């Protein structure tokens, strides 16, 4: 498989990613794909266990940015969680990751993208020099 399609790390679920592991890997900033990473296809609400994970990590000091190709659900969820969002976000372009990083003054060394899509956010993160974490999509 092509190197840029291989995530740096893989987990079954976002809830398997723990504070201790993120600290050990020195990840402080997380660019989080909304669609199928936090939100099941065609659902309007995030599952409670995923929302609890995000809130717990936020309270533990991790900073998040929500990414999506669609605006409707993203803006509401970003406001609900009080975290920044970027849309439309072209998940296929490393330049999109760089724009987010530059806009929010994030250091790539301490940043990771979490997504379910190898051909989208994972490839863009790898090509942009940001660590990539792939999870199985939310159903």
Tallying the residues shown for the chain, one arrives at 139
CATH number at residue 43: 3.40.50.1000
The crossing angle, in degrees rounded to 10, of helices 48-59 and 72-81 is: 50
Sort residue 108 into left (φ over 0), alpha (ψ -120 to 50) or beta: alpha
At residue 60 the predicted structure's pLDDT band, cuts being 50, 70 and 90, is: very high
| Residue 9 predicted with pLDDT over 70 | yes
| Residue 1 predicted with pLDDT over 80 | no
The pLDDT of 90-107, averaged and rounded, is: 85
At residue 68 the predicted structure's pLDDT band, cuts being 50, 70 and 90, is: confident
The total number of structural domains in the chain stands at 1
Give the count of beta carbons closer than 10 Å to the beta carbon of residue 109. Answer: 12
Find out whether 67 and 97 touch, Cβ atoms under 8 Å: no
Q: 94 versus 112: which is more confidently predicted?
A: 112
At residue 130 the predicted structure's pLDDT band, cuts being 50, 70 and 90, is: very high
The pLDDT of 61-69, averaged and rounded, is: 88
The pLDDT tens digits for 16-45 are 999 999 999 999 999 988 777 777 766 667
Handedness of CA 139, 11, 91, 27 (dihedral sign): positive
The pLDDT tens digits for 106-129 are 999 999 999 987 778 899 999 999
Give the per-residue pLDDT at 128.
92
* Cα gap 66→84, rounded to integer Å: 6
Domain of residue 97, residue span: 3-135
Read off the DSSP letter of residue 62: -
């Amino acid at each position: 498989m092509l190197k840029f399609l291989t995530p740096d790390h893989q987990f079954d679920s976002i809830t398997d990613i723990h504070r201790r592991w993120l600290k050990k890997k020195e990840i402080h900033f997380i660019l989080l794909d909304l669609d199928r990473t936090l939100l099941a296809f065609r659902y309007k609400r995030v599952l409670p266990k995923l929302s609890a994970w995000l809130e717990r990590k936020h309270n533990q000091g991790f900073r998040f940015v929500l990414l999506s190709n669609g605006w409707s659900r993203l803006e509401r969820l970003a406001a609900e969680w009080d975290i920044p969002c970027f849309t439309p976000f072209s998940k296929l372009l490393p330049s999109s990751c760089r724009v987010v990083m530059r806009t929010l003054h994030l250091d790539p060394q301490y940043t990771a993208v979490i997504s379910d899509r190898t051909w989208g956010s994972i490839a863009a993160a790898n090509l942009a020099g940001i660590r990539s974490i792939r999870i199985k999509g939310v159903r």
